[in-house]
Amino acid sequence: MNIIRKSGTGVINRIRKASADNRIDRDFSFEVGRTSRQVLRKLLVVCGKVGKENTALYKSKAREIGADFISETGSSWVSTHKIIRKNYEPGKHAGILLLGNNKQLPATPLTYQGVFGFTDWFLQDTTGDGTPDSPVGRVFGQPDTILSHMDPMIIDSNIAVIFDSQPGRSTRHVECLLDLGFDVEVLKRFTPEDAKLLGITEFILQFSDGIFTSRIHGTPEEWASKDSVILSAQHVSTIKFQGYPVVYSEACCTAQEGPLLKAFLKQGVCYIGATLDTMNNTEPFENWNDCAFSDGWKYGFLDLLDSHDLIGQVKTQVDRALHEHLDA
């Protein structure tokens, strides 16, 4: 739940040049601070079967930040959903943070085209009407990873990075971020020289566009095009993120509990992605609300990015709008 709100208009492709001139350290020092306790105390923390010692550790951290804490030891996502609905209080809580992987705290199982995955989408429904109501995030891993996500450091750099294997083919996403006040850098793929730049970003967009053989695809291990790796788990492990950046990926399967997601979580990143294949729209849409495909989520997310205080609220409102229009 990272806060992104900007003003003014940003610039494009200026920062990487500064990095190449060895000016990152000298000219790109940004304020980093703790997330407001006023924000964190609105969390409902739900802890899975992570062991007694870790449960006590996370409960103590929740008490420190002022968040409500409950332990869930059920064996199905139905049980998880039930305890969330029982304990979630609208007005008091602004989001739900799940602690534990799918085995420790079950998510909803799904299958698509023979591939098995999980989702927390249905846990956003806190009223029982089938519609997303409240942001839900999940973090798992070693105790130091989980504790860092419970009380993250936030950087204020106004820098956004876009990974686009075909820069210039489409510019709408770049223009969206510029209009929001981000200084935008567009990269075709990761190189070691980009580690410092990525370490000071607030927002990273993995953009998939163009013909099948050229656009970025995803696996649980990496973002990749047909001929090259764009960003791998190994690359991510070399980046020292100064704040708590938001990464939005529209590639397939990258949010499975695989090496890429684990690397992002370990490095202190809020990751939004898909656990199964994503679907490209087969026809143009006038409004993202009517497009229940990759473009609908992506452009809905960019459209609402400055309309809510918290990233989780942006994501949930996009889910809600697409769900409501799907029913219509």
List pLDDT tens digits, range 159-195: 999 998 777 777 888 888 998 889 999 999 999 999 9
Q: Helices 311-327 and 294-304 sit at what angle, rounded to 10 degrees?
A: 130
Report residue 302's pLDDT band, with 50, 70 and 90 as the boundaries: very high
**99-122 burial, b if ≥16 CB within 10 A, otherwise e?**
bbbbebbbbbeeeeeeeebbbbbb
Cβ-in-10-Å burial (0-12, 13-18, 19+) of 310 comes to middle
Least confident of 7-21, 22-36, 73-87: 7-21
pLDDT tier at 9, thresholds 50, 70, 90:
low
Phi, psi (rounded to 5 degrees) for 222:
-170, 165
- Burial label, 7 (beta-carbon count in 10 A; 0-12, 13-18, 19+): exposed
Q: Give yes or no for a contact between 51 and 59, defined as CB atoms under 8 angstroms apart.
A: no
253: left (phi over 0), alpha (psi -120 to 50) or beta: left
Rounded Cα–Cα distance for residues 5 and 307 (Å):
8
Helix (H) or strand (E) holding 158: none
Q: Is residue 292 within 8 Å of 322, Cβ to Cβ?
A: yes
Burial of 273: CB neighbours in 10 Å, binned 0-12, 13-18, 19+: buried
Structure tokens at 321: 């709008």
pTM across the whole model = 0.90
**What integer pLDDT is reported at residue 212 of this predicted model?**
66
One-letter amino acid at 178 equals: L
Pinpoint the alpha helices (H) of the chain.
15-20, 24-27, 37-40, 52-65, 77-87, 143-150, 172-179, 195-199, 233-236, 259-266, 294-304, 311-327
What is the DSSP track for 37-87? Answer: HHHHTTEEEEE-S--HHHHHHHHHHHHHHT-EEEE---SSHHHHHHHHHHH
- Residues 6 or more apart from 80 whose CB is under 8 A from it? 46, 72, 74, 98, 105, 106, 107, 123
**What 8-state DSSP symbol labels residue 114?**
T
User: Tens of pLDDT along 89-116?
Assistant: 999 999 999 999 999 999 999 988 888 8
Is the sign of the CA dihedral 99, 261, 185, 155 positive or negative?
Answer: positive
Question: What's the chain's Rg over C-alpha atoms?
Answer: 19
Q: Is 135 in contact with 96 (CB distance < 8 Å)? A: yes
Distance of alpha carbon 52 from alpha carbon 126, whole angstroms: 27
Residue 211 confidence (pLDDT): 64
pLDDT band at 10 (very low <50, low <70, confident <90, very high): low
What is the mean predicted confidence (pLDDT) over 283-288? Answer: 87
Domains and their CATH numbers in the chain: 15-35+152-278 (3.40.50.1460), 37-150 (3.40.50.10390)
pLDDT in tens, 195-206: 999 999 999 999
Compute CA distances 232 → 164, 220, 309, whole Å: 15, 9, 31
pLDDT digits (tens, 9 = 90+) for 17-32: 444 445 455 466 788 8
Between strands 217-218 and 222-224, the pairing is antiparallel
- Using DSSP bridges, classify how beta strands 203-207 and 159-164 pair: parallel, antiparallel or unpaired: parallel
